[in-house]
Amino acid sequence: MDIQKTYPMGVRKFGRVNWIGVYTLTAREVTRFTSVWTQTVLAPLITAALFLAVFDLAIGVRRGEVMGVAYIAFLAPGIMMMQLMQNAFTNSASFIVSSKIQGNIIDTLMPPLSPLETTVGYATGAAIRGVTVGGIIMIMTFPFIGLGIAHPLWLAVFVLLGSYLMALVGVATGVVADRFDHMHVVSNFIVLPLTFLSGTFYSIDILPPWLNAISHLNPIFYVIDGARYGVIGQSDANPVTGALIVLTLVVALSLLCFGLFRTGFRLKS
């Protein structure tokens, strides 16, 4: 007769890391946004195309070159990253808030997932949505404006960092928020202004010195600027510095989300 193996208290039978659990949580997040792809993927593509068309028609002809390239070529990487980050944020924040409102957040808290594994699962699922949106925008718009990729590795670095940065902001927002109103406050009054004032539509070199200095305090500036360097080979800041700053924020936000899940803040009450 088989005797079931017992494990000491605190030792999990699937090892130090519950890889199956992390994969399942990530896959659930991916399935959730792909099942409504017209809202989560197609809509951002149309929005990005409209941004490019409107700004190019309204400003592009008179604006001339920016950083040595046509204005639309300067604009395209910023628009791509703006949509990427907004979708990564929305994915994690909206699902956690909706799960809390509907009372099924317990389905995530009950499985044998550590706080770090839960953080990784939510953030990776949201980051995949961001990367998917950004990749489709790049594939569908860059060839039409004759835009190549100057530094693919740098572009990949900032795409991943930007996706995880906003995915983790979304996780923290979802945990702290009690209603969708709270989530929209963060989205409309923090995320959106920081995105629009990050150099997406302009080079910060044209700003007065004091405003230029303030722009360097905006973490999203480094994401946009680094991705632009990856695409057109020009940037306002050193991409190495930008990558280190964003990576530091990603680590800090990971620790914050870990702490929130570990304490069960606004999750277990």
Which pLDDT does position 269 carry in this prediction? 61
Q: Is residue 3 part of a domain?
A: no
65 strand-pairing partners: 70
pLDDT band at 267 (very low <50, low <70, confident <90, very high): confident
Predicted structure pTM score = 0.92
Q: Is residue 6 part of a domain?
A: no
pLDDT higher than 50, residue 96: yes
Residues 39-44 have a mean pLDDT of 94
Residues 126-130 have a mean pLDDT of 97
Residues 73-88 have a mean pLDDT of 96
66 strand-pairing partners: 69
Of 99-113, 139-153, 170-184, 228-242, the least confident: 99-113
Q: How far is 135 from 203, CA to CA, in rounded Å? A: 23
Q: Is residue 14 part of a domain?
A: no
Q: Is residue 254 part of a domain?
A: yes
**Domain total in the chain:** 1
Q: How far is 203 from 66, CA to CA, in rounded Å? A: 8
Q: Is residue 213 part of a domain?
A: yes
Residues 156-168 have a mean pLDDT of 98
The parent domain of residue 113 ranges over 19-263
Q: For residue 178, give the DSSP letter.
A: S
Q: Is residue 13 part of a domain?
A: no
Q: Is residue 117 part of a domain?
A: yes
Q: Is residue 185 part of a domain?
A: yes
